[in-house]
Amino acid sequence: MSTVRNKIILIFLGTVLLPVIPISILVNNLVHHSYSVGVNPSVETALATSIGHSRELYQHRKEQLGNIANELLDQLPADAEAKHLTLPEATKEWRFLALRMYQQNGRLLGERQTDGLDVPRVKQGHLRHSDQLPSGQLIVSDRDHNRFAAVTRTDRSGSRQYLVLTAAVNDDFLQETDQTLEVHQMYQRLSLQEVSIPQNLLTAFLVLGFLVVAVATAIAIWISRRITEPIAALVTGTEELGKGNLDYRIEKTSSDEIGELVERFNSMARDLKTSQEKAIYLEKMAAWQEIARRLAHEIKNPLTPIQLTVQEMVDQYSESDESYRQLLTECHQIVNEEIENLRKLVNEFSAFGRLPELQKERGNLNTLINDIIKLYPHLAFQQDLAEDMPVFSFDDDRIRRVLINLIENAAQAGGDKTPIELSSRRIERFAEVSVKDSGSGIPPAVQRQIFQPYFSTKPDGVGLGLAITRKMIEEHGGEIRVNSVSGQGSIFTFKLPIEE
């Protein structure tokens, strides 16, 4: 089976490996081509230019916010109070959120905010930081929360003050600049790994291909075992049958075609065993028949001279001794009874040894059963005969003897008043008849020997009735069996093949 298994594994591996090689070449070329399209000097120049524009525009926006703050400061009177603070209107670039005026110590002098917003105040450190700048103006950026504040220093009314304008830039502008920065950073990472990324992708593909091959190999081994192990079991089973081991059976492990083949093998083994048992039984029966013929011949010949001799002794005695005459008469009676028993045994042996050849004729099994029931008017019967029982060929005399034997055995087991159940039915190509009694049942040990010649449980039985019954059934190509439960009676069932 190893050759078949290896072929299956090689077929699976070939099926997997053949497309893997061209696909790996195609993937490698595709990765290098795609990488060369995406990572090149033109793309890098365009991204760098875009980043530069974004930075310039970002710086311009911050300068613009500072200029707006300066303009607002110039418009305020020297003695400006909180009531003079007014938020400018939104522009295309900015949405203004709050305008506050602080003293040098950080105390808030006044403020204006967009309704519904709670804009955080700048830290005092930012105010002090603006003092250190020559321009006197500090732009505080918080990109994460889109908050930008222009802190502008001024000296008014003999004290230092700070005007803080808080605004938010257009959201689309921040998203676009962030996206441009992210793309540029990603490009830099790709350019730094120009060699490793294609190699890593190819390596990953090869590892995946190896895993696919490994899985395919495992599946191939599993499937090959599923196929070859039952075949190997069938080969072993065939060898065992060839050695004469008809009890060998193969375990069915699947319900597919292989499982059906195993089931057919086991069925064939059972049929062979049954045929062998029938052949052995018929061979034994033939030997027993030959023995029965010889015994009948050897026993029958001396019976008449013995009987005549004893009769002559009784007739010739003429003395007057009555006690001896009575003894002689009693001995004569005993000898005659035993000779009659021997003659009965000889007749049974002769009948057993001279079973005629089968004489099959077409007939109806149900009709035969009804005819036999009429022979026993003193017995009670319960019938369940199949209406679809066909007409087919069987030996009427032999099947009649079979039914009579089974009915009489049932009557002896259950008594004359207990109903005997008779049933017939058709099962595919067989006609089946059952005879059920209501006796005490047959022990299992007796059931195994009950159809053997010269085995009997009756004190005066010869043990040929059921043996002859079985031989008659098996000569028809059928079989007979008994099913008995202690205390519930016995069922004798025989089936005959229906020859259409």
Query: Is the Cβ–Cβ distance between 483 and 491 less than 8 Å?
Result: yes
* Residue 157's pLDDT band (cuts 50, 70, 90): low
- Concatenated DSSP letters for 177-230? HHHHHHHHHHHHHHHHTTTHHHHHHHHHHHHHHHHHHHHHHHHHHHHHHHHHHH
Say whether pLDDT at 255 is over 80: no
In tens, the pLDDT along 92-121 reads 888 888 888 888 888 888 888 887 777 888
Query: Is the Cβ–Cβ distance between 326 and 266 less than 8 Å?
Result: no
Query: 155 forms bridges with which residues in the sheet?
Result: 160
Say whether pLDDT at 331 is over 70: yes
| pTM exceeds cut of 0.85 | no
- Counting Cα atoms < 13 Å in the Cβ hemisphere of 191 gives 14
- Residues contacting residue 348 through CB under 8 Å, at least 6 positions apart: 462, 464
CA distances from 100 to 73, 119, 153, 316, 484 (A): 11, 11, 12, 168, 112
Residues in the chain, how many? 500
Could you give the CA distance from residue 432 to residue 423 in angstroms, rounded to a whole number? 8
- Rounded to an integer, the average pLDDT of 272-301 is 74
Q: Which residue has the tokens 């970002």?
A: 58
Beta-strand pair 381-384/420-427: parallel
- Rounded to an integer, the average pLDDT of 318-337 is 80
Say whether pLDDT at 297 is over 70: no
Beta-strand pair 430-436/94-103: unpaired
